[in-house]
Chain A
Amino acid sequence: QKEVEQNSGPLSVPEGAIASLNCTYSDRGSQSFFWYRQYSGKSPELIMSIYSNGDKEDGRFTAQLNKASQYVSLLIRDSQPSDSATYLCAVNKILRSGTYKYIFGTGTRLKVLA
């Protein structure tokens, strides 16, 4: 089992629809969760961070976290063609040394159709 799993897609949604992106993780000790957007050939840019169970909204984006089920999701309302990109889920992993690292999923490619 991968430490962070995402459906690679592509996920195609019509313009104006809600896009729902999901991510599951394996380490129950994870405390910090992030969504990044990455356009082709560019570096990841932060969209949302979430630390507590429940929903967190920022503009058209809503992140949802359920630690008991070990999943985190991202909803994009009123999807626009400019939202077409790969969305990366990142989860922190605490190591035995007491340090930590971030584990990224492989990303879900989203296509918003005009």
Chain B
Amino acid sequence: DTGVSQDPRHKITKRGQNVTFRCDPISEHNRLYWYRQTLGQGPEFLTYFQNEAQLEKSRLLSDRFSAERPKGSFSTLEIQRTEQGDSAMYLCASSLGYGTGRNQPQHFGDGTRLSIL
């Protein structure tokens, strides 16, 4: 299967711990996105990469959050000093696209569900 892959599927941790999630996009996709989704809400944009460059980061993303895509392939999202409010589903999506014209649709991974105790 060549879809978007996320790891782990579930993460339970204590408040104050650091967590890191990994996303492997569809291989030919140059764009990679991270979203956060809580119950009853749509996905909330966190950040996006085109190749290895992080082009946009939500102002909602505090300094505790950082994302990387070192070689333009897989990406990691790290949350430091986790808080109760970080409990959510973290979704990764990828797409193929250039410029700002018609944007290709994003394809989502299965997500990582984070629970903070």
Contact = CB atoms under 8 A, between A and B. Distances in A.
Given A98-B100, A101-B56, A43 B110 contact: yes
A110 to B, nearest CB: 15
Given A44-B108, A97-B55, A102-B33, A32 B48 contact: no
A41 B56 CA distance: 27
Interface residues of A, number: 29
A95 interface: yes
A88 B48 contact: no
Contacts of B44: 104
B111 interface: yes
B111 A104 contact: no
Nearest to A106: B42
Given A94-B100, A104-B42, A43 B56 contact: no
A18 B107 CA distance: 27
Given A43-B91, A45-B108, A95-B56, A100 B42 contact: no
A102 B105 CA distance: 10
Q: Which of B41, B42, B48, B56 has the most CB of A within 10 A?
A: B42
A103 interface: yes
20 contacts: A31-B101, A31-B103, A32-B102, A32-B103, A36-B108, A44-B43, A51-B102, A88-B42, A88-B43, A90-B42, A90-B106, A99-B50, A100-B100, A101-B58, A102-B106, A103-B45, A104-B43, A104-B45, A107-B41, A107-B42
